[in-house]
Structures are given as structure tokens and as C-alpha cells.
Amino acid sequence: MEAKRDGFASKFGVIAAAAGSAIGLGNIWRFPYVAGENGGSAFILVYLGFVILIGVPVMLSEFMIGRRSQRNPIGAFKRLQPGSKWYLTGVMGVVVAFMILAFYSTIAGWTLHYLYLSVVNAFAGLDEKGLQTLFNNFHTSTMMPLFWQAVFMAMTAFVVIAGVEKGIEKYTKILMPILFIIIVILDIRALTLDGASKGLEFLFYPDFSKITSATILEALGQAFFSLSIGMGVLITYGSYIQKDNDLVNVAVEVSFFDTLIAVLAGVAIFPAVFAFNIAPSAGPGLVFLTIPAIFQAMPGGYFFAILFFFLLFVAALTSSISVLEVVVAYMVEEKNMDRKKASIISTILISILGVLATLSFGVLSDFKIFSKTVFDLLDYASANIMLPLGGLLIVIFVGWVMPLPSVVKEVSSGKKRKKIFKVYYFIIRYIAPVAIGLIFLNGLDVL
């Protein structure tokens, strides 16, 4: 009954795939605007703390559950703790996958439209006001955003149907480094803009009075979202990692690159925000306003704009396939469904929810649940509530339920990792659960 499992051939393949999942719109679109809405630097400091203290240990725990069980997130808990209710953690992961992909594809669709706009040179000669109008007219309309969202979902399904290995993995190894270089070039341009120092101050000069319990919850949610943790993507990927790969290394490297790209994106965007008088709290439109403005003020901007939006699209695609893969792996392994059928069915169901997310900037902007639009609700509930909840369950599982020898074995992979192990185990047993629990209660206004 069991199909032979696919696997990553090399450590570089593992890093590329996991970093491909982690690095995406979360870093370049979500991080700057969430930081902007939460006062900048102080938020970023809290964010960095969470990446190190909670993000890396949760990521490591997910890899361990996956490699130990050799299963998708639902199957993993069933196999490691048969007869228990732990598999519900995996079920929640599948639900969250639906929610995330629904709103993620909205923004990915915007990215495709902006790729198209940069090809036809639509930003030429537009000042900040013109760019603002362009963005507003587009993202509140109906047909264009839906069209691009559908194109993006179709591409995601196409890749997942084909299987992840030969295509996406091969290309991301080349494309992600290019994305990195483009961001560095953007950084240099942004830093030489008039008023750049204001942007840097906003990013790096912490004003602790800006920190509230809501900010802290946002920072935690952003860390989970950006690192792709808390819903089982990395359980699934962990099940493809070979036994002799060192999971500690993989988790640390992936988290490092993910954070680096987010900070570099912030450095590209905030000087421009201040130089061009855009509000730091402009929300989801922030990148779509600042990036074209920077390219306008830059030699070769036409060419770089195309490259940037193309690579942003690639980054979004390598993330979205990892989300869809969780749903498909579940349907294939647990429900014995054919891979193609599973991919098509889940893509259609997600797209229905996705239409509501996209239209919540336009015709559905007054349709609110808990005083949030569909888009905001999907974003908030998944990133700030369900991912940290998933992470909480994952660390409790590894810290308190999984037998100690299995944990030791997965962490050390033959190497002596005594000190690291002690720190890790202490964090996942005590620090992470208590921290996540407190932040929750606090941020949700229960305390």
C-alpha cells in the first residue's frame, strides 16, 4: 500500500527546498508592512528574539517529527502516537494551509500584475501619487486581480502535480541567489536616496514605548509565518530529509537566510518610504508603492523592476507549492487519492476561498467578520493564532510526548550535540510553551 517515499538527494537540496518555502511574500511583502504598522525597530527587535528563541526550536521540532515518522503532518502524529488525538494538530495544519493559500494567492496575483506592468513600462513617468492611483485602481477592481490569482493558483497546482523535485528545486537553487543580489542592489540604491537615514532610524532605533501586547503577538505571528512553521510544511519536508543530514544545521541556516532576506527587504523599503513620503503604515500595498518608486529613481530601473517582480513571483511560488504540498500529501497518503486529482480538487477549493480574499479589497470591502475583511481575517487568524497554536502543540509533543531517545537521535544525527541538545530541550519543554501561551493570552486580551 505504501508508495516509496521521495527524498532530497543532498543537503543543499534540503536547504534550497526549505529556504524556498520559508523565503517568500512573508519576507518581502509582509515583514516590511507589518513592521511599519507596528512602529518599526522595536517590533523588529522582538521579532529577531522570537526567531532565535522560538522559531529555530520549533523548526527543528517539525523536522524531527517528519523525519522520525516519514509521513505527512496528519499521518506523522498517527504513527508516532497511535490512537491519540495528536493527529488533530495535523488536521489543523491542513485547514491552515487552505487559509494561508487563499490570501497568499491574492498577493501573489498582485505580484504577477506588477510583473506585467513593469514589462509594459507602466510605471514610467509616474510620481508617488500616480503610483498610488495605479495601485488603488488595480487592487480594488474585480477582474484583473482575480485573473492573476487564478493564473498563480494554476501554476502552483501545475508544479505540485509534477512533483517538487526536478523542476522547482533545480530552478530555485539558481533563482534565489539572484533574488538576493537584486535585493542588495535595491538596498544600495535605497541607502543613497535623500532621507535614507530617516528610514534606517525607523528600522533600527528602537522605541520601546511602541511595544504593546498586540505588537508582540504580531511579531510572533510574523516569525511563524515567515519561517513556514506551525502548520506542518516542515514536517512534510522533514520526512524527505536523509538520516545523516544534521537537522540542527538545516534549521539554523534556513532561519538565518530567511531573516536576512526580511531585514534586507526592510532596508530596501524604509528609506524609500520616507524619501517618497509614503506612510510606513500603508499596509499590504507598501511594497507595490515603494519598489516602483525606487526603480523610477534608478538607472536601469526598467530592467531591474522586471527582474524584481519576476523573482518575487518565484519566491511566492516556491512557498505556495510547499503549502499546497501539505494538503496534497495528506490526500494522497491518507486518503489514497491520485496526486493529480488531489492537486486539482484542493486547488479549486482553495481558490473559492481565495476569490473572497481578493475581493475583500474591492466589492467585498464592507463585508466584515469580527470587524475584519475576509483577507484580514484569514491573515490574522492563520498567522497570529493558528500557526503559534500549531507550534505550541508541536513543541509540547516533542518535549513531553515523544520518547527522549528518539529526540536525542534526531537532533544529533551521529554527531555529539550534547550542549545544543540541552539548550534545545529546555527551550521546547519550558520556555517556548510558556512564552507562546502567555503571548496568546495577552494578545487575545484574555488576561
Which residues lie near ligand TRP (CB under 6 A)? 21-22, 24-27, 100, 225-226, 228, 231, 233, 319, 322-323, 387
Phi, psi of 68 (to 5 degrees): -65, -45
Rounded to an integer, what distance in angstroms lies between the CA atom of residue 427 and that of residue 419? 13
Would you tell me how many other CB atoms lie within 10 Å of the CB of residue 143? 8
Give the contacts of 210 (CB within 8 A, at least 6 positions apart). Answer: 38, 39, 40, 42, 43
- Is the distance from CB of 378 to CB of 126 less than 8 angstroms? no
Residues recorded for the chain? 447
Residue nearest ligand TRP (C-beta atom): 26
What are the phi and psi torsion angles at 293 (to 5°)?
-65, -40
Measured between alpha carbons, how far apart are the two ends of the chain, in Å? 49
Give the residue with the Cβ less far from ligand TRP, 252 or 297: 252
Cell (9 digits) for 280: 510606513
In whole angstroms, how close is the CB of 303 to ligand TRP at the nearest point?
25
* Residue among 440, 397, 391, 399 nearest 423 (CA): 399
- Closest approach, Cβ 377 to ligand TRP, in A, equals 16
Four-residue CA torsion sign, 399, 401, 404, 410: negative
Place of cell 512564552: 435
Three-class secondary structure assignment of 22-51: HCCHHHHHHHHHHHHHCCCHHHHHHHHHHH
The residue (of 97 and 146) whose beta carbon lies closer to ligand TRP is 97
Buried b (16+ CB within 10 A) or exposed e, 238-251: bbbbeeebbbbebb
- Are the CB atoms for 193 and 272 separated by under 8 Å? yes
Backbone dihedral angles phi then psi of residue 369, each to the nearest 5 degrees = -120, 130
Of the two residues 21 and 69, which places its CB atom closer to ligand TRP in the complex?
21
